[in-house]
Chain A
Amino acid sequence: MPVLARTLEAAGLSTILVSNMPFWAEAVGVPRTLAVEFPFGHTLGQPHAVDQQRRVIEEALVALEEAQAPGAILHSREAWPEPPDKALKDWQPEEPSPVMAVIRPRVMELMRQRRRSPSQE
């Protein structure tokens, strides 16, 4: 989605991306980002938690108004109200996505290579 933020912004819209991965916002170069430390699939909060959703949206509106330069990343003050290990388990699909069978061996190989040649990092 970071690339969509760039696409819409380049076409003349002012965008604010709310994301739990400021890592990608920075790597791709998103115009404006509000970072939230919420689990995947829960960008604005928990279902029916109207006040919590409103607080995150308000932070996003303020970030949109206050960001001064391209690549701005502001960090939300909100904390996820459930234990991290529960949240990590709950957001994931009941069965692994089909691509995991493809990715797993490639990542293992990548990590083996990096361990062999740490000086190249």
Chain B
Amino acid sequence: MPVDSFKYLPRIIGAFYQASAGRPELPIPWTPLPGPVSGCTFGLVTSGGLYQRGVEPPFDVERERREPTWGDPSYRTIAADVQLGDVGASHLHLNTRDMVEDFNILLPIHRFRKLVAEGRVGGLARRAYSFMGYQGFPPDTRAWQETYGPEVTGKLKAEGVSCVLLTPA
């Protein structure tokens, strides 16, 4: 059965999405997989608004409360040796309870450490990255495309990453 994109959306948001979606800009980018995933070093990137407690600050949701049509475009870095309990979440559009309880539901660092140990994947970058998915209304993703996306790409490549698992929230 194909996945129903609107199953878990309040009707008002679903109606807005359906009225505002366009057609993709072509061509769609494509980087062929360099080989089997057992030889690939992976990077993990989410947009769940996660951050490492005591290392970096939360996303700027206080400004969003003052300016509801603005969303923080920056990103946070999370070390791959992080433990449960070390990760917080700042995202005003989601209930963050479960992702704080176990960040692996968005940033599967512990699952991938096991996959590396088993040889299923080639490696895991020492740093994972988190954005916060709400990029304003109407959405403005220029900072992601022009500044922060390329910055994270550069950092991933510097660690030898060739494959990236992306998990929107």
Residues of A within 8 A of B (CB): 1-24, 26-31, 35-48, 50, 53-54, 57, 60-61, 64-65, 69-71, 75-76, 84, 87-88, 90-94, 97-99, 101-104, 106-107, 110-111, 114
Q: Is the CB of A37 within 8 A of B7?
A: yes
A-B contacts, 17 of them at CB < 8 A, read: A7-B144, A8-B45, A9-B29, A20-B5, A21-B168, A23-B6, A27-B23, A36-B3, A37-B7, A39-B8, A40-B94, A42-B105, A43-B46, A50-B111, A53-B105, A53-B111, A93-B92
Q: Is the CB of A15 within 8 A of B5?
A: no
Grouping DSSP codes into helix (H, G, I), strand (E, B) and loop, the B interface class, with mixed when no group exceeds half, is loop
Residues of B within 8 A of A (CB): 1-8, 10, 12-13, 15-17, 19, 21-34, 36-37, 40, 43, 45-48, 64-65, 68-69, 91-96, 98-99, 101-102, 104-106, 108, 111-112, 115, 120-121, 131, 133-134, 137, 141, 144-145, 149-150, 152-153, 156-157, 161-169
Residue from the list A37, A46, A60, A71 in contact with B4, Cβ < 8 A: A37
B7 → chain A closest CB, angstroms: 6
B45 → chain A closest CB, angstroms: 7
Q: Is the CB of B2 within 8 A of A75?
A: yes
B155 → chain A closest CB, angstroms: 11
Q: Is the CB of B21 within 8 A of A87?
A: no
Q: Is the CB of B98 within 8 A of A42?
A: yes
Docked complex Cα distance between A10 and B19 (Å): 28
Docked complex Cα distance between A87 and B26 (Å): 35
A residues within 8 A CB of B166? Answer: 1, 4-5, 8, 15-18
B120 → chain A closest CB, angstroms: 7
A9-B31, A12-B153 known, 7 other contacts, Cβ within 8 Å: A8-B45, A8-B149, A22-B5, A44-B108, A60-B165, A75-B2, A104-B12
Q: Is the CB of A43 within 8 A of B37?
A: no
